[in-house]
Structure formats: C-alpha cells, structure tokens
Copies of this chain bind each other. A is one copy, B any other.
C-alpha cells in the first residue's frame, strides 16, 4: 500500500505551469453588476468613468454675495462701486451660483448701505471664491481602473461622479468535497477511529478571507463512483473544485483516478513539505485541486495553489505577505528534495525578533493556530542553524508581536489564565507561551529569547526550589525571581483508583502503566528525585520512558485509559476528574530577566499576579496556595 508519487515538481514551476495551463484552457473570471453603495471591497471588472462632474454646479466657497464680476470692474479704495440690491444675491458656503453671475465677494469685504445696496472697494475677478464644476471629479474622467479593489472613498467618488452601478468580478464559487470512510461531521463525541471533518471549515474560512464563496459538499465515502459523481456535480455548480482526501495511506491515488476520469491531471506530487501529495487537476479551464487530508498539509496546499488561482481570477492580490528578519532559536533541519514550510512562534525580546519552530507534524492543526509566522526553507537548502538570521513570513501583525509577552518554560494552566487576563485588561497586549520545561525556560532566559520563564526546580540537596539553579546559571545576575504560587504535585490516578496506588513504590507493581513527563521538566526532576529517594529502579516502572509535555496531556492519557498513573499538579487531575494522591507542595516561580522588567507586558503581568481576579481564578482551578504573588523574591 505504498504511495506512488508521480512527480516531485518544484513549487514555483508547478504554480506557473498550473496557471498557464488553466489560462490556456479558458480559465476566466465571471462578472456581475452591483449597486455602487454595496461595492466596497469588490474588484472592478472594467474601468469606471465619471458620468457627471462633482460638484455638478458652481458653488459658493464663502459666505458673501454672488455678483457678475464685470459689474465690479473699476472698484478701488478711492473709487468704490455700489452694487444695487437687484444686482447680487446673498449666498452661504455651498449655495449654487445663479446663472448670470460668476464671482463671490466675501461678507467681510462689503459695506452695507441703508437701502440694502452693497459698497465694495476692490473688483472681483471672474470665478473668485467659487468652487468650480468638476473640482473633485470631471465627467468622463477615469475614477477607477479595472481590477482594482473598491475602497470606501471610491464608493463616494463614484456616487459623486453619478455612477450608480459598477461592473465587478463575481466571487468565485469553490466546491469543497470531503471524502473518506472514517470521516465524520464535527461532533463533541466521536468514536475511536472517527476522524472529525474540520478541514472544510478551515478551507471555507480561508476562502471567505480571500473573497471566494465556499460550497461544501456532504462527506463522500471512499467509493470511486460516488467521488466521481460529486466532482462532476461540483464542476457543474462551482468555478473551482477542491477534492479533500482522507488522511490514510493510499487515499490520494483514488483522487487522481477520479480527476483523470473527468478531466486532466497536470501534476501529482509537488516538492513541498507538508503538502507533497497535492494534485493539480483541471477540466477545461476549471481547476480541480486534490488536497491531502492532514490539516496542516491541506492548509498549505490551499494557500500555495488555491490562493494564486483566486488572485488570477480577480487579477489582483487578495492578501499582503509581509516578511521580516528573525533569529532562529533552534536548529531546523530540512530535506534537500523539497521546499519546507515550518510554523514558528515569534517573540520580540530585547529588541530582537526570535523565531521558535513549532511542532512540524502535519496533523497538528493547533500548530497553525499558534503560529505567528512561516519559515520557508527553499528546496535544496538543508536547513538553518540556531542563531542564524532567517526571513519569516508574518501571520500576525508586527505591532502585536512587539506587544506580546513571551513565556518559555514550565507549563501550568495558570499561564493560560494570565494570557486571557492580560489581553482583557489591555487589548494591545498579547501573550504566547511555549512549554519546554523549567530547564528549557532557564536556557531561553540565558539566550535572551523570552520575557518570563515558569520554573519549579527542586534542589535535591536541600529540598529548596529554584534559587540554587538560578545562582548556578546566572552567576552574573541580571534576573529577578518573582513569586507566583505553591502548587500541589502528586500522583494522578484513574477515578476510584482501581489499582490501589498510594505511593511512588506502587508504580512498580505489575499491571501499572505509568506515563512520564519529558526530561528537563521540573516535574520529571521531581519524579526522578522521588524514585531515587525510595531506591526505585526506574526501569522497573512500565512506561517510565513514555514522555508527555504538559500536565494536562499526562492527565488526558490516564483519563482515556492508555495509562494508569502519572505525576502532575492537582488542577490538571481535577480538570479530568482523576483521583489524586498529593506528594508535596512545590514553589512555581517566574524568572524574569532585567532587560524585560520594564516592558509594559511584564509590568502588566505583575499587576495581574497581584490582583484579586488572579487569586479567584486560581482558587477555581484548585490545588494552589497563593501567598504573595508578584513579589520579587530575589533580584540576582
């Protein structure tokens, strides 16, 4: 059941060839006429010319009197002219100029006589103080060229120019066909083996951002005839077709066969990762895009191939790509054979934009949600070293990035609560946290890649937390240790504790499946320490090598019965309704480098730590003891 990739076409060549073959086969936008007031954001299909002038009549530009300029000729300081009241008309700014008049004299330049006539001391030149016809727009003038996005002020300019309707490019209708036997519609309660069909919702959302109209078909099972019928129906109803394969092996080959049976396949297999098995198909001028089932692959294929199709449809770009230089926090290795798209988190720390690669698994949709940018590694490049400067395509605004509190270090659900509070209190502030364990946090502070690091590192020698580690890693100081919380660590166990686990030693019992945390995490150090203290050979604990990265993911394994026990904090056990045997209280602190101390993000964080709301939220989570959060325990 091996994949057969027919081609490994470089991305740029694939894009160009696809655009060319579609064009050669008649790919072309449809047009429609819409009322101008509702045309903002649409794209013009042809040039728009004004049909009337704006203003369409000469209007007074001042408060004063409208006159015939020739009746004022000869007026001077010593030779005033008196205008009979039948020879002028009082006008306000904006009033039309009567037909036989061609100048306005300002109110302050007039001496009024008793009989209502006006005495003036200077001649008016023709058309003085008059807003000319067409000052804004002249009839016949091109207001907008074709293929231009209509702005709100362009709507105003068209209406001012007497244009009531405008030819615009119709939104392309994109049919999305989800396929796969195991695929089920979104549900809060899927059965094992069910794959939730959320790709069409992601793709639809992307399409709407690009001014395309998604049309999602019901899920089609893995049957050639049914898929073929759906594609044929989509070709009838839509301008562009997306065939979304399931994520199991071999599925894509089915798509190729279907596309070949109704139209043509240009390429199957593109030199990109993720997204390799993309299929570039078409029938006449209509694109049929075969998109792999894994969501991250799917998103990238849609972005790389469907977006250009829509841009060709509109003949104008639909998004803005902004690239910025960033320093890589970790070495990234990439294959030479393909162009790779790596999701990264970005943080502006100490004036430097730092990019940290996220989970590269193509099934991990949250990695895309968390991503602040994309590192595009060209084909033929092996990757980049940690510390190297690279170009990142931004997925978030630069200003947001500059106002984002970066947290790298030990995981605790309280960080999410801080994230929520920080943005609610000040909507210009954001937070992004990465869970690397306490030691990872200390290293990130050392490398100046984070504003704060959650740490809870036990010193085995004296049972103290954090101090000895910070002294060791920051001999020159320059960091503050800020008190956060004490939290209860313990054994998380299945509800009712069916295996009767009460101590660390019980983990070695036959039939007990343990799930551990990753090396370098404070919880792992604690677990190792507890085992050592009890003289337990960790190789006798089944699953000791099975590593998870957060308290919640350990709890999730136990709750779903793939493990019986794990070490973690009380709030995670509570969240999953697990039994809990407390083992110790530990100090969870925040390490903050001096360089970050005065940023608005950190100052707001300290405020939040001291707030009643923080106290209340943590009480609701459970298992925390708050003494004086936000206090600087020591300035090293």
- Among B102, B133, B198, B399, point to the contact of A320 (Cβ < 8 A): B399
User: Is the Cβ of B138 less than 8 Å from the Cβ of A550?
Assistant: yes
CA of A365 to CA of B58, assembled, Å: 17
A217 surroundings in chain B (CB, below 8 A): none
User: Is the Cβ of B1 less than 8 Å from the Cβ of A365?
Assistant: no
CA of A328 to CA of B66, assembled, Å: 38
A200 surroundings in chain B (CB, below 8 A): 37
- Among B99, B199, B561, B572, point to the contact of A156 (Cβ < 8 A): B199
A8 lies within 8 A of chain B by Cβ: no
A196 surroundings in chain B (CB, below 8 A): 54, 159-160
Instruction: Sample 17 A-B pairs with CB under 8 A, ordered by A number.
Output: A37-B204, A41-B205, A56-B192, A94-B182, A95-B248, A131-B363, A133-B556, A134-B552, A135-B361, A143-B366, A148-B423, A152-B205, A152-B299, A155-B198, A160-B198, A160-B295, A162-B190
**Mask of A137-169 contacts with B, CB within 8 angstroms, 1/0:** 111111101111001111111011011100000
**Mask of A50-67 contacts with B, CB within 8 angstroms, 1/0:** 011111111000010000
CA of A263 to CA of B339, assembled, Å: 62
CB distance from A395 to the nearest CB of B (A): 8
A95 surroundings in chain B (CB, below 8 A): 193, 248
10 tightest A-B CB contacts, nearest first: A40-B205, A152-B205, A159-B198, A153-B368, A142-B416, A57-B192, A134-B556, A37-B201, A140-B575, A145-B420
Q: Can you name the residue of chain B whose Cβ is closest to the Cβ of A152?
A: B205
Task: List 18 additional contacts besides A134-B556, A153-B365; criterion CB under 8 Å.
Answer: A37-B200, A51-B188, A55-B363, A56-B190, A102-B513, A125-B546, A134-B552, A134-B553, A134-B557, A140-B575, A142-B419, A147-B427, A155-B202, A156-B368, A156-B369, A157-B366, A163-B188, A315-B423
A198 surroundings in chain B (CB, below 8 A): 155-156, 159-160
A186 surroundings in chain B (CB, below 8 A): 36-37, 159, 164
Which residues of chain A (25-59) have a CB below 8 Å from chain B? 36-37, 40-41, 47, 51-58
Q: Can you name the residue of chain B whose Cβ is closest to the Cβ of A367?
A: B136
User: Is the Cβ of A127 less than 8 Å from the Cβ of B543?
Assistant: yes
CB distance from A196 to the nearest CB of B (A): 6
A229 surroundings in chain B (CB, below 8 A): none
A576 lies within 8 A of chain B by Cβ: yes
Number of copies: 2
CA of A546 to CA of B58, assembled, Å: 14
Please indicate which of the listed interface residues A93, A160, A576 has the most CB atoms of chain B within 10 Å of its own CB. A160
A364 surroundings in chain B (CB, below 8 A): 135-136
A199 surroundings in chain B (CB, below 8 A): 156
A553 surroundings in chain B (CB, below 8 A): 132, 134-135, 138
**Mask of A567-578 contacts with B, CB within 8 angstroms, 1/0:** 000001001100
User: Is the Cβ of A201 less than 8 Å from the Cβ of B295?
Assistant: no
A381 lies within 8 A of chain B by Cβ: no
CB distance from A174 to the nearest CB of B (A): 14
A461 lies within 8 A of chain B by Cβ: no
CB distance from A199 to the nearest CB of B (A): 7
CB distance from A267 to the nearest CB of B (A): 23
Q: Can you name the residue of chain B whose Cβ is closest to the Cβ of A206?
A: B152
Determine the main DSSP class of A at the interface with B. Answer: loop
A126 lies within 8 A of chain B by Cβ: yes
* A interface residues (Cβ-Cβ under 8 A, vs B): 1, 36-37, 40-41, 47, 51-58, 63, 70, 92-96, 99, 102, 125-127, 131-143, 145-148, 151-157, 159-160, 162-164, 182, 186-190, 192-196, 198-206, 208-209, 246-250, 295, 299, 311, 315-317, 320-321, 361, 363-369, 371, 397, 399, 413, 416-417, 419-420, 423-424, 427-428, 431, 513, 542-543, 545-546, 548, 550, 552-553, 555-557, 559-562, 572, 575-576
User: Is the Cβ of B126 less than 8 Å from the Cβ of A543?
Assistant: yes
CB distance from A264 to the nearest CB of B (A): 26
A556 surroundings in chain B (CB, below 8 A): 53, 133-134, 138-139
A424 surroundings in chain B (CB, below 8 A): 145-147, 315
CB distance from A550 to the nearest CB of B (A): 7
CB distance from A441 to the nearest CB of B (A): 19
User: Is the Cβ of A317 less than 8 Å from the Cβ of B427?
Assistant: yes
Please indicate which of the listed interface residues A200, A366, A548 has the most CB atoms of chain B within 10 Å of its own CB. A366
User: Is the Cβ of A145 less than 8 Å from the Cβ of B423?
Assistant: yes
User: Is the Cβ of A365 less than 8 Å from the Cβ of B427?
Assistant: no
User: Is the Cβ of B248 less than 8 Å from the Cβ of A190?
Assistant: no
A201 surroundings in chain B (CB, below 8 A): 36-37, 155-156, 159
Q: Can you name the residue of chain B whose Cβ is closest to the Cβ of A550?
A: B138
CB distance from A179 to the nearest CB of B (A): 14
CA of A56 to CA of B556, assembled, Å: 9
CB distance from A406 to the nearest CB of B (A): 15
Q: Can you name the residue of chain B whose Cβ is closest to the Cβ of A140?
A: B575
Q: Can you name the residue of chain B whose Cβ is closest to the Cβ of A180?
A: B94
- Among B70, B131, B142, point to the contact of A542 (Cβ < 8 A): B70
A246 surroundings in chain B (CB, below 8 A): 94
A159 surroundings in chain B (CB, below 8 A): 186, 196, 198, 201
